[in-house]
Structure 1
């Protein structure tokens, strides 16, 4: 499939260079090229990986175990524990998402969506970093509890970061290596991290949540721009498990900037996530 796509792109590129990129035929061929690329990206993900919304105790425990591997054992952000699970007070009103590796049946990564249900339930960003949010109109305290959520605890275990290009600081948290990838190398992207963000986004849309927050490294925010996920920074960088800043996004901002090549991948993930009941 990869060889066919490359061959087709080469042929299309040659024809575009002959007829001109701005000609009607050139523009039509450019659209065809993007469509082929979009289909490849979506198929590449769905052939090997699938999103899972953790609703049973067993799948939730799988998520906590991955988090322990990354946040406790590898990064040492949190203390080790005998049960080898990483869990906190926010998990009581969170929905974990996982990416499952189809052929092995193992889970290749996790992320959680924290969604308060009661007035006294805070987002992690509100409890630990509220003063870092300086954008007053987008402060989560301005909105009803049911309308806010936070994406957090993204983790990709080391056994699913086997490629040399993914063995660098930050890869466990989904950062894309800017020295390796470029906007023209979409087929090489780390699909697990992107799939996790898309799974969380699909869950946000499925549950009609209006405002989403993320506390993350600026380089992770830059990484997500490669695929067109453009978070809005709503405060300065602070020292919280390293350099982090508060970011905001909503479904309109997501769709407005998402690269066409990845819209199909998100659509397919949404169809699978929508099979789960709302919460």
Structure 2
């Protein structure tokens, strides 16, 4: 059988369609958006401003600050990243990796939620400081969530509505949130960090899984700024499940992140 979906021609056409799809996803992001690692005070302040807009003013997770900058103790050893709109240079979103480099520097999950980690062999306390990090403070400002389908609860912190979006509706995909996830992953690999943690809502974990990023849950859901659970991922887990349609987009973002110097 040469023409059916399982025949040589069918497989060739399917492979071609997936390649075109991957190119579209990657091009759609790179045509309009770019990742920027915040290495100076100006770009760091842009990240803190977005966090203040989302976490303090919009969601009321944190108190409003007089300086309009949302910061905490972990920013002293964190690396923020922005996704920037190329044409306007406006910042379309931010995320950070908290990366301790010496003893005494704890991840937020260690300081506030260590007891929630019941998977003891993957506890961050078991690994050297330079081998662990935590992804946190992902935020997308309201100005970049103008479409009606982007206004559902959770979109400000990167939740992807898997009931609205599908790989057949790529023009509707929330590329900013996805670009932030990929930028964080690229920064982790750029700095050769082995173990990554995040405290997040189960629905956020499910929405990330929609694109093939499968975090491993390390414990039960607890009450921490809402119902959240501890999750873990490493580069091997990330690559093993990432959908082929999104790998090209990730590789392109990774190339851009790798141009920034390590800190």
- Fold agreement, TM-score > 0.5: yes
Among residues 106, 114, 121, which one is paired with 1:122 in the alignment? 106
- 1:107 aligned residue: 91
- 2:257 aligned residue: 273
Deviation at 1:181, TM superposition (A): 1.6
- 1:12 aligned residue: none
- 2:7 aligned residue: 23
Residue deviations 1:83-131, cap 9 Å, x none? 1000000000000000000111100000000000111000000001111
Write the mapping of 1:1-279 to structure 2, written as runs, cut at 5 A.
19-279=3-263
CA distance in 1, matches of 2:215, 2:253: 20
Deviation at 1:241, TM superposition (A): 1.0
Q: Structure 2 unaligned runs (5+)?
A: none
CA distance in 1, matches of 2:64, 2:141: 16
* Partner SS for 2:36: strand
Which has the larger displacement, 176-185 or 88-97? 176-185
Residue deviations 1:197-251, cap 9 Å, x none? 1001000101100000011111111111111011111111111111111100000
CA distance in 1, matches of 2:78, 2:181: 15
- 1:3 aligned residue: none
**1:183–1:226 contact (8 Å) kept in structure 2:** no
Which has the larger displacement, 179-188 or 90-99? 179-188
- 1:6 aligned residue: none
Number of equivalences: 263
Deviation at 1:176, TM superposition (A): 1.1
Residue deviations 1:29-73, cap 9 Å, x none? 110000000000000000000000000000000000000000000
**2:162–2:210 contact (8 Å) kept in structure 1:** no
Q: TM-score, with normalisation over the residues of structure 1?
A: 0.92
Deviation at 1:183, TM superposition (A): 4.3
* Partner SS for 2:28: helix
Q: TM-score, with normalisation over the residues of structure 2?
A: 0.98
Aligned-pair Cα RMSD in Å: 1.2
Q: Which runs of 4+ in 1 moved over 4 A?
A: none
